[in-house]
C-alpha cells in the first residue's frame, strides 16, 4: 500500500505555513492479519535515521520502506521487544530531558510561569497514585497493542485498545466493531499517546477499538509537521484497522485540547484536498473511506483560533509568543482551523469541501482558563457559515479545561465516553452507556477537590 499525499494537501492561501508535502512511504505487509494476542509492530528506516520499534508478544511484521534516490531498504531490529515498559520509560525520559533543556530558551520563565509550573508539579504529585495505577494497567493489559509504528518519523507510533469483540471479529465470530481515532492534547509540547490510557481502557469496556495516535511535539516539530504525522496515522488506520476487527465505516475522529486543534485542521485540509482531487479526477488519500463517511468529529476544549488565543495567554501573564514559534514564519492564522475558511484555496473549493465534512460535536467547559469557551462557539459559527451540514456545541456549566479528561473520570463520570458513543450510535447511545460496567471513583473526593484548585490549566 503506497501512502502518498497530494503535495498541495494543505491550504496554500494561508502563506503555506501549514501546507506540507508528505513523502511517499510504502508499507509492506509481511505476514497475514493478526490472530489472537499478536501485536503489530512497524519498523522504519529513512532519511538516515533508524527508529527501532518495540512490542510485546508474537509479532506480525510490518516494514516501512522509505523511498529515496539511493533505493529502498527494509530494516528490522528486535532489540528491547521483550521489554515494552522499560523501553517506553527510557524513550519518555530521553525526550523529556531534551525537551526540558530546549524549552528554557523558548518559554523564558517568568514569575507567572514558575508559579504555574509549581502548581502543575503539585497537581501531578497529588494524583500520582491514580496515574501509576493507570500506567500499570496500560502496560499489563494484553488487549492493548502498544507502540505500533505507522510512519517513518520519530514519535510515529500509536497504541491500539482492542476489546474482546474485536478479537471475535478477527476470528470471524462477530461483526467488526466501531473505531475511535484519538489525538491527545499537551499544548503541542508535552503530548503523548499514553495520556489517553484511561479513556482507551474505558472504550474497550464499551466494545470499541480506541486508537491513540502520537505525533512529534515542539520544539522537535511545528504544527505542519504534527498535522503531517496525524495524516500518516489516519491513512494507516484506514488501511489496517480491518485486520484488528475494526469497522472503518463506523469510525470517528476526536481530539482533546491541542489534539482537537490538530485533528480538526487535519480534517479541514483533507476535505479541501479530497475536493480538489475529485474535481481533477485524481485519487484521494483514503479512497476506501471518503471524509464524509466518517461518523463524526469530537473536539474537546480545542483552541481553534491561535490568533485569538495569543492575547488570552498575554492576559494570564504567559509567554504568548510560543504560539508563533509553533507556526512557520509565525503565521498564526495559517495554522488556525477557524481561519482556514478565509483562504483562497478554501474559497475556491469550499462548498464541495464543506459538504464532505462529517458532523462536528464541539465540547467545552464554561470555566476553562486555558482556552476560553468562545474558541468553540466561534469555531462552530465559522463551520456553519462555511456550509458544514451538522455542527453541535456543548458548553458545559462549571467545567474546567481538564474536568472532562482527568478529574471527571477520576470521579466516576463518563463525560467523554458519552460524547463518543453519541456519535457512534446516535439515538441508541443511552442504552450503550447503561450497559457499561460502572466507572468507580479513582480517588477520594477531597483529593480531587484539592487537585481542581491546583490545576494550572
CA 375-381-382 angle, 5° bins: 90
Distance, CA of 423 to CA of 433 (rounded, Å): 12
Q: Do you find a cis peptide bond into 175, omega within 30 degrees of 0?
A: no
- Clarify whether 373 is annotated catalytic: no
Distance, CA of 306 to CA of 292 (rounded, Å): 26
Distance, CA of 253 to CA of 356 (rounded, Å): 14
Does residue 87 contact residue 54 with C-beta atoms inside 8 Å?
yes
Distance, CA of 400 to CA of 257 (rounded, Å): 12
Biggest CA–CA distance in the chain, Å, is 62
**From the candidates 368, 373, 375, 400, which is the catalytic residue?**
368
**216 Cβ contact partners less than 8 Å away, ≥ 6 residues apart:** 153, 154, 155, 156, 225, 226, 229
- Clarify whether 59 is annotated catalytic: no
DSSP category for residue 437: P
- Clarify whether 43 is annotated catalytic: no
How far CA 381 is from CA of 29, 240, 315, 341, 375, in Å, comes to: 44, 35, 25, 11, 10
**From the candidates 192, 232, 261, 401, which is the catalytic residue?**
401
Helix axes 415-425, 197-205, angle to 10 degrees: 50
How far CA 54 is from CA of 41, 88, 306, in Å, comes to: 7, 8, 36
**From the candidates 257, 264, 336, 400, which is the catalytic residue?**
257
User: Catalytic residue numbers?
Assistant: 257, 368, 401
Amino acid at each position: 500500500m503506497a501512502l502518498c499525499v497530494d503535495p498541495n494537501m494543505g491550504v496554500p492561501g494561508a502563506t503555506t505555513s501549514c501546507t506540507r508535502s508528505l513523502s511517499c512511504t510504502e508499507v509492506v505487509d509481511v505476514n497475514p492479519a493478526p490472530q489472537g494476542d499478536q501485536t503489530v509492530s512497524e519498523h522504519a528506516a529513512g532519511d538516515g535515521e533508524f527508529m527501532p520499534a518495540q512490542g510485546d508478544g508474537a509479532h506480525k511484521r510490518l516494514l516501512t520502506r522509505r523511498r529515496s534516490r539511493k533505493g529502498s531498504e527494509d530494516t528490522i531490529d528486535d532489540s528491547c521487544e521483550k521489554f515494552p515498559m522499560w523501553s517506553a520509560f527510557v524513550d519518555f525520559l530521553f525526550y523529556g530531558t531534551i525537551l526540558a533543556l530546549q524549552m528554557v530558551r523558548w518559554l523564558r520563565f517568568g514569575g507567572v510561569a514558575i508559579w504555574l509550573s509549581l502548581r502543575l508539579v503539585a497537581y501531578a504529585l497529588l494524583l500520582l497514585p491514580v496515574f501509576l495505577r493507570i500506567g500499570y494497567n496500560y502496560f499489563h493489559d494484553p488487549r492493548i497493542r502498544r507502540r505500533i509504528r505507522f510512519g517513518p518519523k520519530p514519535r510515529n507510533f500509536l497504541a491500539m485498545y482492542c476489546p474482546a469483540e474485536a478479537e471475535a471479529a478477527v476470528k470471524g465470530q462477530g461483526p467488526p466493531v466501531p473505531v475511535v481515532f484519538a489525538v491527545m492534547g499537551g499544548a503541542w509540547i508535552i503530548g503523548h499517546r499514553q495520556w489517553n490510557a484511561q479513556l482507551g481502557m474505558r472504550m474497550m469496556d464499551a466494545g470499541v477499538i480506541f486508537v491513540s495516535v502520537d505525533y512529534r511535539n515542539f520544539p522537535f516539530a511545528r504544527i505542519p509537521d504534527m498535522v503531517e504525522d496525524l495524516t500518516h496515522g489516519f491513512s494507516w488506520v484506514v488501511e489496517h484497522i480491518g485486520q484488528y476487527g475494526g469497522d472503518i465505516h463506523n469510525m470517528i475522529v476526536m481530539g482533546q485540547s491541542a489534539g482537537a486543534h490538530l485533528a480538526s485542521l487535519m480534517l479541514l485540509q483533507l476535505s479541501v484536498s479530497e475536493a480538489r482531487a475529485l474535481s481533477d479526477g485524481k485519487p484521494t488519500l483514503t479512497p476506501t473511506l471518503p471524509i464524509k463517511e466518517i461518523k463524526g468529529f469530537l473536539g474537546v476544549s480545542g483552541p481553534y483560533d491561535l490568533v485569538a488565543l495569543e492575547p488570552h495567554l498575554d492576559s494570564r501573564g504567559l509567554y504568548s509568543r510560543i504560539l508563533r514559534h509553533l507556526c512557520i514564519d509565525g503565521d498564526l492564522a495559517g495554522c488556525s482551523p477557524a481561519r482556514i475558511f478565509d483562504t483562497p484555496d478554501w474559497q475556491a473549493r469550499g462548498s464541495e469541501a464543506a459538504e464532505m465534512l462529517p458532523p462536528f460535536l464541539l465540547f467545552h467547559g464554561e470555566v476553562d482558563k486555558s482556552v476560553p469557551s468562545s474558541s468553540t462557539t466561534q469555531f462552530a459559527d465559522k463551520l456553519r457559515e462555511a456550509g458544514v451540514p451538522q455542527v453541535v456545541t456543548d458548553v458545559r456549566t462549571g467545567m474546567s479545561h481538564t474536568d472532562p479528561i482527568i478529574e471527571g473520570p477520576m470521579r466516576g463520570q463518563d463525560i467523554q465516553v458519552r460524547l463518543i458513543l453519541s456519535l457512534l450510535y446516535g439515538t441508541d447511545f443511552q442504552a450503550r452507556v447503561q450497559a457499561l460496567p460502572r466507572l468507580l471513583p479513582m480517588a477520594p473526593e477531597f483529593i480531587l477537590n484539592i487537585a481542581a484548585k491546583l490545576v494550572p490549566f
